[in-house]
């Protein structure tokens, strides 16, 4: 098995050696190799849920570029959600979970340094979950919640942030006349966009999405996908998805994981037309998993 190696050039994605045939490079995307600088740097990361007895993630090396959408794909249990949850230290809530090797830097800072406040970190690295989880409050209060927690008291500042966040989440036009109504009365797709609005209200650098459309109908999914491509302009998005077509539609780069290892990481256009690793091809073309 070939493990993806960190490229010393932080501005480009790793080039994978071919497993079974001539190594090839897609000439049509050559210009895209000049990517944005890495915002998240995963350096030889190993992670365990059972105090180091078994590693769920094994020696992961990965640079996630700024203002791009990066998709994590792989069969269930491959570690993609685990890695996503490492990015905002959500795994800290599990007593037996620990990093067993390597580390993660976001904007050059060590994410797991003892001085890092995980609550503050989550303001910078927001997360949207598989199932929408609005608070049992009004639409307005859901979006304002993060700002209030951060100590914002100025009403007009909060009003402005709520409006901008709802606009950013493509929800404003649908809810602007009923901001005081309960969030739980919104449809599933609207609730998910409300959660995205709540996430961007605190102006994070990174938005993590763990299968954000898996519980939505095709129209609501299309709206969220359209939103993801717009969010890229202001945020770095990392999305876990089981939907290959969704990864091809919304992401710039795709990482394929299997049994806790990063098998291949490349431009999405390259990975889905001419993957370098046979195992990647077998998975994305539906031959296992």
Binding site for other proteins (CB under 8 A): 21-28, 244-245, 248, 272-275, 278, 280-282, 284-288
Is the CB of residue 49 less than 8 Å from the CB of residue 99? Answer: no
Q: Which long-range contacts (CB under 8 A, 24 or more apart) does 12-17 make?
A: 13/63, 13/65, 13/253, 13/265, 13/266, 13/267, 14/61, 14/63, 14/265, 14/266, 15/276, 16/264, 16/265, 16/266, 16/276, 16/277, 17/276
* Whole-angstrom distance, CA of residue 161 vs CA of residue 146: 11
Longest dimension (CA), the chain: 62
Nearer to other proteins, 96 or 245 (CB): 245
Return the number of the residue (25 or 178) whose C-beta is nearest other proteins.
25
In the complex, minimum distance from the CB of residue 128 to other proteins, in angstroms, rounded to a whole number: 25
Q: At its nearest, how many Å lie between other proteins and the CB of residue 23? A: 6
Q: CB-wise, 54 or 285, nearer to other proteins? A: 285
Q: How far is the CB of 256 from other proteins (least distance, A)?
A: 11
- Taking the C-alpha atoms of residue 277 and residue 263, their distance in angstroms, rounded to an integer, is 8
> What is the smallest separation between the CB atom of 25 and other proteins, expressed in angstroms?
5
**C-alpha torsion sign, points 74, 248, 272, 11:** negative
8 A C-beta contact, residue 198 and residue 142: yes
Pairing of strands 38-48, 98-106: antiparallel
The full DSSP string for 219-264 is: HHHHHHHHHHHHHTTTSEEEEE-S-HHHHHHH-SEEEEEETTEEEE
3-state secondary structure of 98: strand
- Cβ distance to other proteins smaller for residue 187 or 273: 273
Q: Closest CB to other proteins among 23 and 187?
A: 23
Q: Closest approach of Cβ 139 to other proteins, in Å?
A: 36
CA–CA gap between residue 151 and residue 165 (Å, rounded): 18
Which one, 21 or 153, has the nearer CB to other proteins? 21
Question: Sheet containing 38-48: which strands, arranged edge to edge?
Answer: 55-65, 38-48, 98-106, 109-110
Of 154 and 285, the one with the shorter C-beta distance to other proteins is 285
We find the least distance from the C-beta atom of residue 71 to other proteins, in angstroms, to be 13
What gap in Å lies between CA 256 and CA 241, rounded to an integer? 11
Residues in the chain: 289
CB of 264 to other proteins, least distance (A): 11
Q: How far is the CB of 159 from other proteins (least distance, A)?
A: 44
- Minimum CB distance to other proteins smaller for 22 or for 31: 22
């Amino acid at each position: 098995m070939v493990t993806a190696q960190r490229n010393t050039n932080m501005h480009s994605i790793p080039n994978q050696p071919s497993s079974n045939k001539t190594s090839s490079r897609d000439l049509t995307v050559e210009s895209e190799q000049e990517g944005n600088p890495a915002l998240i740097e995963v350096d030889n990361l190993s992670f365990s849920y059972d105090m180091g007895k078994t590693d769920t993630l094994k020696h992961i090396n990965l640079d996630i570029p700024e203002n791009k959408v990066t998709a994590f794909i792989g069969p269930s249990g491959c570690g993609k959600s685990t890695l996503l949850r490492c990015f905002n230290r959500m795994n800290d809530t599990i007593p037996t979970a620990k990093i067993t090797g390597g580390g993660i830097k976001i904007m050059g800072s060590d994410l797991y340094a003892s001085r890092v406040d995980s609550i503050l970190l989550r303001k910078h690295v927001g997360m949207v979950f598989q199932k929408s989880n609005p608070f049992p409050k009004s639409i307005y209060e859901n979006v304002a919640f993060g700002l209030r927690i951060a100590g914002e008291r100025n009403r007009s500042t909060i009003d402005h942030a709520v409006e901008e966040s709802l606009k950013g989440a493509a929800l404003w036009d649908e809810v602007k006349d009923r901001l005081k109504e309960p969030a739980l009365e919104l449809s599933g797709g609207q609730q998910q966009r409300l959660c995205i609005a709540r996430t961007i209200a605190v102006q994070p650098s990174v938005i993590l999405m763990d299968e954000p459309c898996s519980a939505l109908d095709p129209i609501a999914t299309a709206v969220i996908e359209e939103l993801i491509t717009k969010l890229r302009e202001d945020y770095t998005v990392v999305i876990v998805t089981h939907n290959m077509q969704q990864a091809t539609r919304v992401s710039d780069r795709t990482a394929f994981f299997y049994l806790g290892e990063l098998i291949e990481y490349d431009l999405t256009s390259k990975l889905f037309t001419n993957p370098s690793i046979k195992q990647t091809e077998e998975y994305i073309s539906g031959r296992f998993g």
